[in-house]
Structure 1
C-alpha cells in the first residue's frame, strides 16, 4: 500500500511545477522580528502574534502560486518538532506529538481557508541534530528509531507526504525513508551540501541518491537539494541520475554553512539572479516538481523563481 500512496501522489501532482515557500525560520527571525528557540518555528503556533505571522507568511506563497496557476506544496512548521529537539527545549514527547498535530491542522486550515484545496500538505522532518556536524551522524537503524515517532504522528494527522530536509548523511536518509515506508506515507529526501557540492561526509549527490535508492528499493518519491546556493551544486547535476531530483530549495546566499552560522544580518542575495539560476538548473532536471527557497529567501525570491520557470 505504501508504494500505491506514492504513485497516487505523483499522479495527483501531474507533470506541472509546484511552488513551495522560502526560508521560514530566517523570515520569522529577520523579517518578523520573532525569536525561535533552537531555530524551531512550531512554538509560534501557541502564540497569537506568531500564529498571525505564520498565516501572513504562508498566505503570500499560496496567493502567488494561484496567480501563476501553479500547484503548491504546503509545509508544516515541524522541522524541529522531533523528540530529541523537544527534549533540548524541555518538552515531553507527548507535547511534541501535539505540536506536530497542531502544525498539520494549521496547514490544513490554511489550505481550506484560502481556496487551495489541491495543495499538498507536506509534513516536514529535520535532522536529529546539527546537520553540519560530522560527529553526530546516525546510521539507518538509529535514524529509523529516532524519526519513526514523528513520521507516525504526521501520517496519522493526515499529511499527504513527508519530506526530510537539510539531511547531510545517507544513513539518516535511509532510516527516514524506511520509517515512512513502514507508515505507508510517501517521502521525499532533501540533501544539503557544502560549497563543493558534496555531502559533509564527502559523497556526491549522485552517490548519495544511488546508495539510498539501493537500500530502500527506490522508495523515495524524489530527492531534493536545499540549504545551499545553486553555484555550490549546479555542476553536479549531470547524467540520467539527475532525473531523481524533484525539488530545489536553494539559499539566496553564496556563503558557506559556517559563514551563515556566524552571520548577524540576513543575506538575501538577488531574487532575479537566483531565479535565473533555477531556470538554468531546470534544463538538467527532467524530474523537477517543486520549487522554493531556503535560508534568506522570501516571497520575492519564490515569486521570481515561479515567473522564470513557469
Structure 2
C-alpha cells in the first residue's frame, strides 16, 4: 500500500548517530534491538537507495547507519545539477583543460601502455577494480558490490505523480527527476529512474516485476502514458558495500606501489557513493604529485602558469 510518510520507527532510527552502530554486527540485528524488527527491516530497505544491495540488513551496522542517517537528513543533502551528470563532467573537464591538462580519449590502456607510463612518472588508475585487477595482475583488487536492476522511463505528465517512491518491504527506489529539472525530458513528459537490487542468482525479470508494482502505486496509468523505456542490470558496478567487521579502511588501498595509485568507488576512502571516487581521486593525485618530487602547491602553480603544457608529472 502507498503511504505518504515512513514508519515512526524508521525516523527514530535514522536520527541515531552513526557512531552508535557497531562495525562488527549486522545492521538488521542491531537495529531490531533499537526499534523492533519491523522498523529495522523498513529502515534497511529504505537505506538500499544508497547501497544498491539486495540484503542491506546483512551488511555492517555502522556502514548502513551512516547512509541511513544521511539519507534522512533534513534539509536533504542531495543536490541536482541542471542537466544531470553529463554537464557536471564537462565542466570538470573544461576546468582541467584550463589548467593546462592534456586530455586524450578513446585510447585503450593495456599492460604495455601502463608500463610505458610508469617509466615517465606516477600513474593514477581511475577505473573499476575489475579493470585495475587485470591491468596490474593483482588478484587482491576485489571488494563486494551490489547487483541491481535499473529502469529509466519517460511518461506523459499527469497531475499528482509522486516525486519519490521507496519500497519498504524490499529494496527498491523510484524517483521523478524532472520534478527538480524539467529540462531532462521533452515538454509534457516526465523522466522516472529507479533501481531494484536483486540477489546473485536472481533474474532481471524479478527486479523488473517489483519496479512495476511500485509504478502502479506511485504513477497510476503509467503503462498507457509511457513514451520511452530502457532497462539494464548493473552487476558489481554500484560502489563498495562493507560486511560486518569491515570498514572502508579494509578495502584495496589507493597506494599500489611502483608509483601507481588507484581511484574509484570501491577503494579505501570514506564517503557515500560517488564521494568515494572523489575522495580517493584527490588522495591519489596528491600522493602522485608528491611521488614526482613536487609540492602540491608548486604543481598547481605550474598548471596555472603553463597552459597547454600537458598533464605534468601524472597520468590519469
Same fold by TM-score, threshold 0.5 exceeded? no
Relative to total residues, which structure has the larger helix share, 1 or 2? 1
> What's the TM-score once normalised by structure 1's chain length?
0.26
**Which of 1 and 2 has greater Rg?**
2
Larger relative contact order, structure 1 or 2 (CA cutoff 8 Å, min sep 6): 2
